[in-house]
Amino acid sequence: MILQLPFATGIASQEYLVAEEGAIRAQEEGCSDWYVDVSLPSDHAHEWSADRRRSLRKLADGLGVRPILHGNFRAPLATEIPEIRAGVVAYVLTELELANDLGAPLIIHGGALVDPRPTESGRWSALQRFLRLAEEVLAAAEKIDVDVWIENLSHYPRFRPFTYVFTRYGDYVAARDFIPDAGFIFDIGHANVSQAPPLRLFHEFRQSIKAISVSDNDGRADSHVGLGRGNAPIADLVGSIKDADWRGVVAFETRGTPVHEGVQALMSYVRSEPEDMIDVDRV
């Protein structure tokens, strides 16, 4: 059976598998979409020959599943070094080309600011550098009709060797002001780290949030556990989605927990008759 949620236009799995294996697993689990993760060594952008791209697209079509290209979150999109920035732009454009060849949207991230005691001015400068680069990527994406989604990362305030860029509510506001047509994927697990997740985004950014990624954690680190096994406000998330009448792709990044269990966990918070909205029977 195909998994469904009342607010989902698609249900995606992130199994951290080689792309071809991930497509098969997604179909077996009843998902409509799956992540092709170019941060995995097997799926780095340079690992994709023309034959492999054509082969994966044929496999996906045969299985009836759609790829979502998850860009390499390690790429330093907020670097302050001009020579590195030029290389990063060229690299992200190779991810964009891959997304185009696979018929997939591309998820990009802000990267990291290497500073164990980041100041607000330092965070702001890094965010501005990222947004300027993202603007270039989105302009290139528009020319080839590829959707690009900006994903928030976990917020680690201090006392680590780095802090991620694009992590907080204010970063979304800055991105919307700088790139009014930007699209986003909101990761509730990332948003739960070291802060209260800004669920008002579903009202203020209803048209801009194209997808959500769900997992749970204890608020200290991004552990990707199953829903209900941490303290992420999943019930409040579902309430905000329903109140805002949001629709979009729902991606599950719950290591060791089957997607259908995550769907059932979300449905337990839906304040309506579930049989009208979802079918998770396994046959």
pLDDT in tens, 78-95: 999 999 999 999 999 999
Mean pLDDT along residues 123-148: 98
CA distance linking residue 213 with residue 208, whole number of Å:
15
Residue 35 counted as domain residue: yes
CA distance linking residue 97 with residue 48, whole number of Å:
11
CA distance linking residue 195 with residue 168, whole number of Å:
8
Domain of residue 222, CATH code: 3.20.20.150
Whole-number pLDDT of residue 282: 27
Find the range with the poorest average confidence among 70-74, 115-119, 124-128.
115-119
Residue 270 counted as domain residue: yes
Q: 252 CB contacts (<8 Å, ≥6 apart)?
A: 11, 12, 13, 14, 213, 214, 215, 259, 262, 263
Residue 41 counted as domain residue: yes
Residue 57 counted as domain residue: yes
Which of 191, 264, 261 minimizes the C-alpha distance to 222?
191
Mean pLDDT along residues 28-49: 97
pLDDT tens across 191-242, in order? Answer: 999 999 999 999 999 999 999 999 999 999 999 999 999 999 999 999 999 9
Better pLDDT: 161 or 227 = 227
Q: How far is CA 131 from CA 62, 137, 174, 257, in A?
A: 37, 10, 9, 34
Assign 2 a pLDDT band (cuts: 50, 70, 90): confident
Assign 271 a pLDDT band (cuts: 50, 70, 90): low
Residue 3 counted as domain residue: no
Is residue 24 pLDDT above 90, yes or no? Answer: yes
Whole-number pLDDT of residue 22: 98
Residue 67 counted as domain residue: yes
Assign 159 a pLDDT band (cuts: 50, 70, 90): confident
Residue 281 counted as domain residue: no
Mean pLDDT along residues 258-280: 73
- Strand partners for 149: 107, 183
Is residue 281 pLDDT above 80, yes or no? Answer: no
CA distance linking residue 7 with residue 154, whole number of Å:
25
Assign 1 a pLDDT band (cuts: 50, 70, 90): low
Is residue 137 pLDDT above 90, yes or no? Answer: yes
Is residue 69 pLDDT above 90, yes or no? Answer: yes
Mean pLDDT along residues 257-280: 74
CA 173 remoteness from chain centre: 18
> Residue 149 sits in which domain range?
8-276
Residue 2 counted as domain residue: no
Q: 226-249 burial by CB neighbour count: b if 16+ within 10 A, else e?
A: bbbbbebebeebbbbbbebebebb
Mean pLDDT along residues 26-50: 97
Do 164 and 112 contact (CB within 8 A), yes or no? yes
Q: What is the mean pLDDT of the chain?
A: 94
CA distance linking residue 1 with residue 30, whole number of Å:
6
Number of domains comprising the chain: 1
